[in-house]
Structure 1
């Protein structure tokens, strides 16, 4: 029997300390320039791996990261746990039901966002010189991999960028995330089938067809019956008042492992099983936003950095760096995903000003692109030069996302938010103790302001939108909203709850005290900016403190009007 000696344990702890500590430290530093943590994690791996440390101080590199197989396996096992949990977390962010309910625009964007970049990447990859291929006799299989790898977007990165711009909870953010949810499911399904076809190439066609049918059947089962069973299980955990979030986390982890075992047994990679398990768990309405946040923080704080820093320990990025190939992969990935989403938006009736923002939101390949590249590398489908190009292309797409998306959103004509908000639009003391009753109070006030819709109609529309994607944010803020056909201009009403509304399911678990209800015409471009500016203004802790202690409606109005006086939002533009 083999036992791990004390020296191996000591070296393993030193490796974890260096990788995790440097990745987190550099991540915080780059975060000041709004750069994703993934960039820091890749850089730390490159610095400590054969690229820099192994080249400049080979003896030191040998001491810290010896070529001993058992030592390498310890670190790699932890890294793979990280990527399993990352796919599980990615699935949790997918809201398949909401995407399916509004499948008109979202489905058009998602399908175009998959088909167009796949066609572009597949066609271009066929013309790559054969020395870039591991098997020159199989260029079609290589091109199929490139097509799927460069079509998958990094939904988590886009969600963070939208959150930073205060757009995540808007209709624009909801549409983008819905389209990317469908994109992720289709993209991962196609990639696992391509990878399975490559690894099973020596098998009979009947076996390959069995794998294909089993994979599709498993996916359909999970998206229908499995989703309802998972929802019922998490609801039962909540009903029995089991310890949270520990019990929910254990259940979701076991579900991921079960699905991983099933997909690995089918003949496709276990990562797809973890992703599908996350999708099923993410559909559970009983899973609170706070629990989701805790799971996300655990995954991104501990497991993910160890996986991505470990990539730099495996590959010499300088020895395998090919500038022309890096440009080729970057242009194909970023350009293809942008064009696909742009074409999809053109098929909808969305305002012209939203086209570029939606297309830009689809450009990052990020972690998902790197993961599929690493899998292909380990299975011998691509060379190290192609993998290095994929990593650089993915990181570059992350670096440009934030500034490009911010620039696109900022190019809008401005008006005062007070055009849509007045003293008569304020309820200084909401009587409701629950979310639905609070929405009813605000709907009655909005009906009196607009004199177009009955309060019941407004309440129904807002509640439907709220159930599709919750609008509670951190620090007691909620921004419920809806679009109404007969409205000519936006309406904003505000309600304050001194005691707080507990059941709004906010990410930080705090009750909602400040509720802005925003109603807008269909395809109104102003709604997005109104919501973003409300969120930005309410981030001021002193403003929230003054609002909660305001002793009258006049005091509330004075506080809010002064805060919004200098705020500017986008004027609605006509659709083309």
Structure 2
């Protein structure tokens, strides 16, 4: 009988302490230069694993990471549990109810961003030399599987890039997030189905149809009946505990485990169950932003790092790295995803923003690494191809930020812009709805006021306009508005706006624009987001004491 002794626990604690110290150190540096922390996690794994430590200091490597089954299994178990939580957290970021309202345009973009990259990638990958497919009995199936992996875009990476550029809170930002989210859902469904079908020892149409049918039924029931049950459970634990966070976390993880067991039973990967559980929980109004941030910080500061470090501990990247293959996979992946989203944008009548939308779909990120690792564990990828996909995921994630920032320079404030400051600058309101209504009364839009309020509040439900440092940018569309209006007000008493940093809102920039001048809205949101990132610039708003000073400052800053 194999058992765990104190020696195993000692080595596990030693490994974890070294991993967490190094990942915190490297990721702290990467955050300062706005790079994804997944890069740091993999670098730590490469340093501590067979690639560097195992090659140059083999005795030290064996001393820290004994190569016995029990010790390896302990770290592997923690890593896989971490991956389950990563998928749970990824699902939480999906606001399914809001995204469903954008389904028409977002679905067109997402569908083409799945179909076109598969066709595009297969055409080129299939003609790679046979030496890259020596592990496979069927080159066509392997090529198809790799192409499916390359369709999934990295939602967390894209969100970070959109926030950095400053267009996350615009209507365009919401469309991009909606399309990427649907891409995630479609990609995971296709991937898990194919994984189940390809892992069968022999193909059986009856089993294949059953898996597809059960997957559809499970997804439908989870997003409808499951959502009601989880919301009811959340309400029960909140009533029993004023804080609620412990009970909410217990319900969240329990839902992930139950859904994971169900998906495993019907023949698809457990990870899909955790992903759907995250979507279901994230759609609950009781699952607050504070609880979401707690889950996200806990998962990504501990478990996500552990999983990606463990990849580097298992594979010698020097031995399996092929520069030409890695660059080829990177180029094909980026071009395929860009082309799919570009064509989808044109067909969904978003021609003006096709380049921005397409760029946001190019990063591979953590999901590429996750799905390719699963494929590797099932014997559907060689280590050389796996390393190439990891390289492509990291490089595409690094490139998307600067590329998006360069493309976003095209958004410029148009001439027709009016800045208004609320009378006496300050407004008294207890809720965001009341504040927005009072600001619209000042603009005097007469019979259109109720329609515009509804339009603004619907957009607030879709994507909260709260930024950092007490600033919000609610926005509305007024069809026949000749010039874009930005109405500014200081709140007498700050309001909870569910902002990114959790701070209450003190300053409101209400943006009203027509559909034809929507580019001005995007540019204005971008500029105001820059103010919100800088504490000194945000505080400067409080130092301006007259209406004229505020109007001049806002107009000069936004138009600059």
TM-score range, shorter chain: over 0.9
Partner of 1:66: 66
For the residues of structure 2 that align with 1:474 and 1:33, how far apart are their CA atoms?
19
Partner of 1:521: 514
Partner of 2:368: 369
For residue 42 of structure 1, report the CA deviation from its aligned partner: 0.9
Q: Does 1:561 align with 2:552?
A: yes
198-207 or 58-67, which deviates more: 198-207
What SS does the aligned partner of 2:67 have? coil
Note closer, same or farther for the CA distance 1:351–1:144 as it changes in structure 2 (3 Å cut). Answer: closer
Q: 2:136 touches 2:380 (CA, 8 Å); kept in 1?
A: no
Partner of 2:457: 463
For the residues of structure 1 that align with 2:446 and 2:320, how far apart are their CA atoms?
65
Q: 1:92 touches 1:282 (CA, 8 Å); kept in 2?
A: yes
Partner of 1:572: none
What SS does the aligned partner of 1:167 have? coil
Q: 1:360 touches 1:404 (CA, 8 Å); kept in 2?
A: yes
Note closer, same or farther for the CA distance 1:377–1:511 as it changes in structure 2 (3 Å cut). Answer: same
Partner of 2:222: 222
Alignment of 1:83-102 (within 5 A): 83-102=83-102
For residue 210 of structure 1, report the CA deviation from its aligned partner: 1.3
Structure 2, gaps ≥5 residues long = none
Partner of 1:505: 498
Q: 1:452 touches 1:487 (CA, 8 Å); kept in 2?
A: no
For the residues of structure 2 that align with 1:301 and 1:368, how far apart are their CA atoms?
17
For the residues of structure 2 that align with 1:422 and 1:159, how far apart are their CA atoms?
31
Partner of 1:22: 22
For the residues of structure 1 that align with 2:19 and 2:94, how far apart are their CA atoms?
29
What SS does the aligned partner of 2:318 have? coil
What is the CA deviation profile of residues 304-324 of structure 1, one whole-angstrom value per residue up to 9, with x for unaligned ones?
111111101111111111222
Q: Does 1:421 align with 2:419?
A: yes
What is the CA deviation profile of residues 7-35 of structure 1, one whole-angstrom value per residue up to 9, with x for unaligned ones?
22221112111212111211121233221
For the residues of structure 2 that align with 1:426 and 1:142, how far apart are their CA atoms?
66
For residue 146 of structure 1, report the CA deviation from its aligned partner: 1.1
Q: State the Cα RMSD in Å.
A: 2.1
What SS does the aligned partner of 2:493 have? strand
What SS does the aligned partner of 1:152 have? coil
Note closer, same or farther for the CA distance 1:270–1:136 as it changes in structure 2 (3 Å cut). Answer: closer
Q: 1:54 touches 1:61 (CA, 8 Å); kept in 2?
A: yes
Partner of 1:403: 402
Q: 1:290 touches 1:507 (CA, 8 Å); kept in 2?
A: no
For the residues of structure 1 that align with 2:26 and 2:503, how far apart are their CA atoms?
31
For the residues of structure 2 that align with 1:416 and 1:49, how far apart are their CA atoms?
57
Partner of 1:154: 154
Q: 1:134 touches 1:381 (CA, 8 Å); kept in 2?
A: no
What is the CA deviation profile of residues 351-379 of structure 1, one whole-angstrom value per residue up to 9, with x for unaligned ones?
52x22111110001110000000000011
TM-score (norm 2): 0.95
Partner of 1:348: 348
For the residues of structure 2 that align with 1:192 and 1:123, how far apart are their CA atoms?
22
For residue 344 of structure 1, report the CA deviation from its aligned partner: 0.7
For residue 59 of structure 1, report the CA deviation from its aligned partner: 0.9
Q: Does 1:486 align with 2:477?
A: no
Partner of 1:279: 279
For the residues of structure 1 that align with 2:319 and 2:423, how far apart are their CA atoms?
64
Structure 1, gaps ≥5 residues long = 570-576
Q: 2:122 touches 2:143 (CA, 8 Å); kept in 1?
A: yes
What is the CA deviation profile of residues 156-193 of structure 1, one whole-angstrom value per residue up to 9, with x for unaligned ones?
11101111122211111101000011100000000001
What is the CA deviation profile of residues 197-254 of structure 1, one whole-angstrom value per residue up to 9, with x for unaligned ones?
0112426332222112111111121222223333343345445554232221221111
Q: 2:95 touches 2:283 (CA, 8 Å); kept in 1?
A: yes
Partner of 2:54: 54
Alignment of 1:192-211 (within 5 A): 192-202=192-202, 204-211=204-211
149-158 or 123-132, which deviates more: 123-132
TM-score (norm 1): 0.92
Q: 2:192 touches 2:268 (CA, 8 Å); kept in 1?
A: yes
Alignment of 1:181-200 (within 5 A): 181-200=181-200
Note closer, same or farther for the CA distance 1:165–1:242 as it changes in structure 2 (3 Å cut). Answer: same
Note closer, same or farther for the CA distance 1:556–1:498 as it changes in structure 2 (3 Å cut). Answer: farther
Correspondence for 1:445 among 435, 442, 447: 442
Partner of 1:574: none
For the residues of structure 2 that align with 1:568 and 1:73, how far apart are their CA atoms?
59
What SS does the aligned partner of 1:429 have? strand
Note closer, same or farther for the CA distance 1:24–1:152 as it changes in structure 2 (3 Å cut). Answer: same
Note closer, same or farther for the CA distance 1:549–1:243 as it changes in structure 2 (3 Å cut). Answer: same
Q: 1:130 touches 1:136 (CA, 8 Å); kept in 2?
A: no
For the residues of structure 2 that align with 1:41 and 1:135, how far apart are their CA atoms?
28
What SS does the aligned partner of 1:428 have? strand
